Amino acid sequence: MPQARPFRQVDVFSKVPFMGNPLAVVLDANGLDDAQMQAIARWTGLSETTFVLTPRDPAADYRVRIFSPEMEFPFAGHPTLGTAHALLDAGMQPKGARIVQECGVGLVQIERSADGVLAFQAPPCTTRELAPALLPLLQAALGGGAAACGTVVEMGIRWLCVPLASAADCLAVHADIAALTALLAAARADGLALYGPHDAGGPADYEVRALLSEHGALVEDPVTGSANACIAQLLAGAGYRARQGTCLQRDGRVAVSFRAGHAWIGGACLTVIAGTILA
């Protein structure tokens, strides 16, 4: 028998409604099985839907499972921030100074600034350089754009991170879906994360785009916490700000900082729907 479960839909990485990346959050998913969670995620049609559960680790404030319409992810960035925001919005009181999320990659630390902006500490990652033999395929995937290198960064999800000469070059990419599909398979990556620097005085320090191949169709993610976290591993040093979603008429803003060798990925979140879901 379905029961009414508290539900939020959150806009992540934006202070302006409908300009970030939406996330659906089922705030009490205890009792739902894998098939039910996957069905709900498929029904919402969003890039991710999260399901909050009682934690198994006593250090955690909650446990979360993250589903796309097709599969479960052990970790993803915008669902991490959006879930924490939804729980705080619903009245959750963290056990300590930081929010601690339990998920498929373990415990993830989340901080809340005085103005309410959230940031997560990027999980540990591994990196491997794109094989030189795949560079022609990368250039074909970029629609003929120039790229001299790429690095696969894995932190539960694997992004092939590719630096471009400028933000304008990043925005100008018209990906070839056949070549992109072949590239991601050959590189053993889940998506392609492009980034290029803005000129001084621009809207951000970097422009970011996240491109995926889903069932042979090109999909661009509006604002991607995990992709930005992977890029941050390659840009470690001074903090910076990234913009993402421009080509989708979004205006996602990501703040990256580095403390004690760890990257922190932050952004504003807004609740746009609050109610219940029968599940």
Q: How far is it, in rounded angstroms, from Cα 96 to Cα 86?
A: 18
Q: How far is it, in rounded angstroms, from Cα 254 to Cα 230?
A: 13
**Residue among 56, 74, 64, 65 at smallest CA distance from 34:** 65
146 phi, psi to nearest 5 deg? -85, 125
**Residue among 175, 266, 165, 278 at smallest CA distance from 223:** 266
Catalytic residue among 48, 102, 207, 220: 48
**102 carries an active-site annotation:** no
Q: Which amino acid is at 164?
A: L
Give pairs for 234-237: CB < 8 Å, separation 24+: 234/127, 234/151, 234/153, 234/161, 234/163, 235/206, 236/261, 236/263
Q: Taking the chain, what is the end-to-end CA distance rounded to the nearest angstrom?
A: 8
Chain center to CA of 165: 23
Q: How far is it, in rounded angstroms, from Cα 128 to Cα 197?
A: 23
Mind telling me the catalytic residues?
A: 48
